Amino acid sequence: MNEVIIATKNEGKAREFVQMFEPYGIVVKTLIDYPELPDVEETGETFAENALLKAESAARLTGRPAIADDSGIVIDALDGRPGVYSARYAGLEKDDKANNRKVLEELDGVEEEKRSARFTCVLAVSFPDNREPIIVEGACEGRIAYEDQGVNGFGYDPLFIPDGFDGTMAQMKAAEKNAISHRAIALQKLRAALPELAGEPK
């Protein structure tokens, strides 16, 4: 497998996948390269259900194996919210700053030891033939900061401090983040489950 289709139009996710697959000589195409394809309504109640919906649609419409990511942040003090609603937590329009602002407002007054959270990523691979889809999950544990910090990354990166670090993911260089992120952990599991992706870095 020297080329994969990532079923996303999120430029931040697309950029991370390109960076992760590049050392293995794998070309990444995304739904940004297929503007004619319709958006998939994420009607699932779990990350896995939504990832599979997106992967199956992309594989069916392109006739190529497709990988879809569904991910988000799970905050313990908010009973697991935003969870699967992470991208649209502050409203139907995807607005990272508004989402982060809403999380900070809801955590106002919550002390540091109760601000635990984790980024979760589920990757689903769907094939245009009759092969069973593959689903793997990765998580990165950490806590929510008291304010936005850093300008790198996207989504909730400016709020999320991974365990073992003092700064947020948005304060990390891309290579540093890609070594520990929920997406990187899920991708490692996917490479173990899918031999075609298990080449050695070039």
Region for 66 from its dihedrals, namely left if φ exceeds 0, alpha if ψ lies in -120 to 50, beta otherwise? beta
- Structure token pair of residue 173: 């260089």
| Euclidean distance between CA atoms 31 and 137, whole angstroms | 22
Q: Is 183 annotated as a binding residue?
A: yes
| Euclidean distance between CA atoms 107 and 200, whole angstroms | 43
Q: Is 10 annotated as a binding residue?
A: yes
Catalytic residue among 33, 39, 69, 70: 70
**CA neighbor of 143 nearest in space, from 157, 163, 158:** 163
Q: Is 155 annotated as a binding residue?
A: yes
Q: Is 11 annotated as a binding residue?
A: yes
Region for 51 from its dihedrals, namely left if φ exceeds 0, alpha if ψ lies in -120 to 50, beta otherwise? alpha
Q: Is 30 annotated as a binding residue?
A: no
> Sign (positive/negative) of CA torsion 48, 53, 55, 60?
positive
Is 70 a catalytic site residue? yes
Q: Is 177 annotated as a binding residue?
A: yes
Q: Is 15 annotated as a binding residue?
A: no
| Euclidean distance between CA atoms 75 and 25, whole angstroms | 36
Q: Is 70 annotated as a binding residue?
A: yes
Contact 76, 141 (CB under 8 A): no
Q: Is 157 annotated as a binding residue?
A: yes
Q: Is 105 annotated as a binding residue?
A: no
Q: Is 116 annotated as a binding residue?
A: no
Catalytic residues: 70
Residues of the binding site for substrate:
8-13, 71, 154-157, 177, 182-183
Residues of the binding site for Mg(2+):
41, 70
Residues of the binding site:
8-13, 41, 70-71, 154-157, 177, 182-183
